[in-house]
Chains A and B, each alone.
Chain A
Amino acid sequence: MTEILRVEGLAKMFGGLCAVSDVSFNLNHKEIVGLIGPNGAGKTTLINLISGAIQPTRGRILFNGRDISKAKAHEVNNLGIARTFQVVRIFGKLTVLENVLAGLVDRRSKGPWHLAKDAIFGPAGALVEDREACRRAEELLEFVGISRYRKELAENLPYALTKRLEIARAMATAPKLLLLDEPSSGLNPAELMGQIALINEINRRDVSILIIEHVMKVIMDISHRLIVLDYGEKIAEGVPKEVCSNPKVIDAYLGGGANAAH
């Protein structure tokens, strides 16, 4: 198995607070790794660090052997890492289709000036009339199952579907690694099953996944490997069954007393 992501001694301080301290792990091609831990354990901070939304205090992040610990969010995405957010960050005043189109633009080779020039002088000025891009966007909406809302403003979508839209938008950037921050929060049981199927399908398309999830059913079903964080530190790592019977993990989730009683 080839390694795609490697995190070495990663630490992030917010003032005096250590949100992530000395975390190291790796992620292989086509692997699904689950990231769990109690509230405030530093899971989202870790994803923010990898995606470049914030910069680490110490440590390194290597993506395909390349150091990306100083890279900005848009650079990280251009290199092939896409993400979703715990609290959705869709483009509310754009249509569902346009949200995906925003992700489809080839930003590795085209900057704003290039796009502006194409817009004014190019033959196909209007993106909405660009059949090829629209077709690919439709495909992605179909893939996540919300294509019938394509013309709706994204802010009018029900909550569960905005989560799907975020996934479609992330997939539009053709990532090799997808970071999912609680994709199942707020979903009902039926929606949950759909979400599991969707994540597995994404994985089958050669995308490696790092996923934060509180819903145990989801994380146990789909993760090949689990990493457990507590107070910013990695306390366990391994296949799901193993990790769940790890006394340290039980401690972290239920508190010290529970283990003693056990």
Chain B
Amino acid sequence: MNKYTRKWLFRVLVLAVLALLPQVIQARYFLHLVVMAGIFTILTLSWNLLAGYTGLLNLGHAAFYGIGAYTSSLLAMLLGISPWIGLFAGGLTAAFFGFLLGFPALRLSGPYLAITTIGFAEILRMVAINWVDLTRGSLGLSGIPLLTPIRLGALNIKFYFERDYYYVVLAAVLVTLFCVRRLTQSEFGVSLQALRDDELGAQSVGINTARYKIAVFTISAFFAGFAGALFAHYIRLVSPEMMALHTTFDTLTMAMIGGLGTMAGPILGAVVITFLSEWLRYVEDLFKVDIRLVIYGLMLILTILFMREGIAGLLRELANKLESSRLGRKKESEP
């Protein structure tokens, strides 16, 4: 079996497991966590495109997430527009704001960009809090419509239970993963990484770094907005708190622990952190101590100190070791 067949076999296997998962494990709480992990995977993949692959430390990513959520919710509640269209409208609106935020990013880097983007997200959060007529202020929007049923011939697919949303989110994660993977492994992605590693060097090979930064901000914001809209029609409640720094911080934690600038990192990070944070909530209730953020902080520090490429990097190293020891044994067995 060559490497290529093995890769595809692995993919088919993973897909089969994912497709059957809700049939095997029917616990609604478990499926809810998987759906949340899926939404966070999309958000983290989009952040990783900026921070991991292009080196643009955007700490206002939660704003895109919130913009997507509010846009789609308001379109559905005020104008009766289908949430299915709203998902994309939320993504596109966020993309527009991403495009705008791309411009200051041309002149700023490192800590200056980070602070500017925090400011951007805070302004939007304030708008959401104070524009009470539209957003109901800090109360947030509630009673957001569910995804509308899809009629396929005689089949009427409803979206009500966690299990139904599971398949929608799974599809969204797969499409996002496909896009991000294609983007990063293409000439586009090589250009992004080039400008991350050395901006002047990138310009010297003809890369218009300004246009690339704006493009990647726009694309990244689209996926974040899409994730936000998905969240809104699933949880059915959005509030200005979605745009607070802690949402971005959660995203950052997932990306860092999973593996910054890797493809598997955001997925691993989102799943691990989502489940861990639920488990820690249980521990907190038990011992009556607020320990969640302490543990996140410690994990971040340990990751940065000892495994820069997070869980994804660790797994890759393990795989390499296995591979080389396998090859070693093969050589030994040959006379």
Chain A residues within CB distance 8 Å of chain B: 51-53, 72-74, 77-78, 82-83, 85, 89-94, 98-99, 101-103, 105, 107-108, 110-113, 115-116, 118-120, 125-128, 133, 169-170, 172-173
Contact = CB atoms under 8 A, between A and B. Distances in A.
A77 B194 contact: no
B186 A82 contact: no
A91 B204 contact: no
- Among the interface residues B183, B186, B207, B209, which one has the most CB atoms of the partner chain A within 10 A? B186
A127 B190 CA distance: 9
Given A94-B193, A112-B191, A112-B211, A125 B186 contact: yes
Contacts of B205: 77, 82, 102-103, 107, 169-170, 172-173
A72 B201 contact: no
Given A74-B208, A112-B215, A173-B206, A119 B201 contact: no
B203 interface: yes
B204 A119 contact: no
A98 B197 CA distance: 12
A98 B190 contact: yes
Interface in B205-224: 205-209, 211-212, 214-216, 219
B182 interface: yes
B212 A112 contact: yes
B188 A112 contact: yes
B281 interface: no
B186 A118 contact: yes
Given A91-B194, A101-B187, A111-B211, A119 B182 contact: yes
Contacts of A118: 186-188
Given A53-B203, A85-B201, A172-B205, 9 more contacts: A74-B208, A77-B204, A77-B205, A93-B193, A112-B188, A115-B191, A119-B183, A119-B187, A126-B186
Contacts of B206: 74, 77-78, 103, 105, 107-108, 173
Contacts of A169: 205
Interface in B193-248: 193-194, 196-198, 200-209, 211-212, 214-216, 219
B182 A120 contact: yes
Nearest to B205: A103
- Shortest 8 CB-CB distances between A and B: which pairs? A119-B186, A89-B201, A73-B203, A77-B206, A112-B215, A91-B197, A115-B188, A125-B182
A83 B204 contact: yes
A73 B187 CA distance: 19
B66 interface: no
A91 B187 contact: no
A98 B205 CA distance: 13
B189 interface: yes
A74 B194 contact: no
Interface in B13-45: none
A199 B193 CA distance: 28
A127 B185 contact: yes
Nearest to A102: B194
Contacts of B211: 111-112
B318 interface: no
Interface in B141-188: 178-179, 182-183, 185-188
30 contacts: A52-B203, A53-B200, A53-B203, A53-B204, A72-B208, A73-B203, A74-B203, A74-B208, A77-B203, A82-B205, A85-B204, A90-B197, A90-B198, A91-B194, A91-B197, A91-B198, A93-B196, A94-B193, A101-B187, A105-B206, A112-B208, A115-B187, A115-B188, A116-B188, A120-B178, A126-B185, A127-B186, A127-B190, A133-B187, A170-B205
Given A73-B200, A112-B215, A94 B182 contact: no
Contact of B197 (A77, A82, A92): A92
B198 A120 contact: no
Contact of A119 (B189, B200, B202, B203): B189
Contacts of B178: 120
A91 B207 contact: no
Nearest to A89: B201
Contacts of B209: 74
Nearest to B197: A91
A101 to B, nearest CB: 6
A121 to B, nearest CB: 9
Contacts of B191: 102, 105, 112, 115
A154 to B, nearest CB: 8
Contacts of B200: 53, 73, 85, 89
Nearest to A93: B197
A100 B198 CA distance: 14
B204 A102 contact: no
Contacts of B204: 51, 53, 73-74, 77, 82-83, 85, 89, 170
B194 to A, nearest CB: 4
A35 B186 CA distance: 38
A52 B206 CA distance: 11
Contacts of A102: 190-191, 194, 202, 205, 207
B26 to A, nearest CB: 35
